[in-house]
Amino acid sequence: MVTMPSEAACDSELIGDLLVRGMQVMRINCAHDDCEAWSRMVQNLRQAESRLGRTCKASFDLAGPKLRTGPIEPGSGV
């Protein structure tokens, strides 16, 4: 499994290279980029699959809630 960088949306050669090197699952981290970029990543994957005669699954990691802390009171040193 290889997690796609944002560049995978516009660089089909990157995805092709990963397929040649044995990528079997393309992971898209949906906490980054947007629907349009994710769609281009999958389009690039499908084109590379056709060109190289290989197959690869696409996995979408959905972003969950982002927990944040509030102000923290100063305390004693550790």
What is the C-alpha radius of gyration for the chain, rounded to an integer number of angstroms? 18
Residue ranges with strand state E in 1-67 = 2-3, 25-29, 57-61
What is the model's pLDDT at position 73? 83
For the chain, 78 residues long, give each residue's pLDDT as a single digit of tens: 999 999 999 998 999 999 999 999 999 999 899 999 999 999 999 999 999 999 999 999 997 787 777 887 888 877
For position 25, what pLDDT does the model report? 98
C-alpha span between 68 and 66 (Å, rounded): 6
pLDDT at 75: 83
